[in-house]
Amino acid sequence: MKILPAIDIRAGQAVRLFQGDFAQSQVVHPQVVEQAKTFKEAGIGMIHVVDLDGALEGQAINRDLIAQIKSETQLAIQLGGGIRQLQQIEDYLAAGIDRVIIGSMAVKDPTFVSQAIERFGADKIVVGIDAKEGQVATEGWIKTNSVNFLDLALDMERRGVGLFVYTDVGRDGTLTGPNLDHYKLLLSALSKAQLIASGGISSLEDLKELKEAGLAGAIVGQAYYSGKISLEQMKEIED
C-alpha cells in the first residue's frame, strides 16, 4: 500500500481543514515547497496535493506554486482541486504532475471523465469521491448532491476509471479513524479499479487495517501534522 502525505494549499500556505470546513482552517506550514522538501528528504515517493482555492473557484489558482513543488523536489504528485477543463489537465501534466484528480466534474458532467481518459490515459486520471453520510459532496465540499458514493464509483469504473480517492468528509481532519465500512463496500463492488483512502486516519493501526482490507493507498494529513503518524511509520507500512 502506498502512503501519500498531504499538502492542502490555501492562500499559498499548507493548511488543514476540519471536516472540509474552510472556516476551520489551520496553517501547518507557511512554505509549501519546504514542506514538500521535508517529505522528499524522508524518502517519500509521492505526495497528495490539493489546491483548496482552486476547488472553491473552479480554476487552477495555485498552479505555479504546484509546478514549483514539482520542479524543486521531483516528487511524484497526485493533484486535485478545481479541475474543470481538459486544458487544465493538459497544463498540469505538461508541468510534470503525475496524476490529476477529477472530483466535482465527475458528478456534474460524467462525460468529462470519459474525455479525459481518452485524451490522457487512465493512468493519469483519478476520480475523487467525497461524501457526506454517503452522498457525494462537490464544489470544495460545499454542495451535497443526491448521488450515492457507490453509484458514482460504479458509473466511473464503467467509463474506464482505474483509481479512486474516497474521502468521508465527516471524518476528514478529525482523527476519528477511516470509514472502513465504506471502503469495504467499494472494494467489494468494484471489479478492477483500485482505491485510495482519505479522511480520518489517525494512527499506524489505521494504516495497517486499510492495508489488510486491500486499499491501494492512503492519504495522511492531519495525523502527520499533529504528530500521530511519523514519516518513518509511513515508510514502514508501505510494501
Catalytic residue from among 51, 130, 168, 172: 130
Q: Does residue 91 have an active-site annotation?
A: no
What are the distances in angstroms from CA 66 to CA 70, 72, 228? 7, 10, 26
Name the one residue in this structure whose C-alpha cell is 458514482.
Answer: 152
Contact 218, 194 (CB under 8 A): no
Q: Annotated catalytic residue: which of 8, 51, 168, 172? A: 8
Cβ(113)–Cβ(161) under 8 Å? yes
Per the annotation, the verdict on 130 as an active-site residue is yes
**Which amino acid is residue 208, in one-letter code?**
K
Rounded Cα–Cα distance for residues 134 and 191 (Å)? 20
Q: Which residues contact 34 (CB under 8 A, 6 or more apart)?
A: none
Type of residue at 51: D
Amino acid, single-letter form, for residue 106: A
CA–CA separation, 96 vs 115, rounded Å? 20
Task: Specify the pairing of strand 13-18 against strand 21-29.
Answer: antiparallel
Q: Which residues are designated catalytic?
A: 8, 130
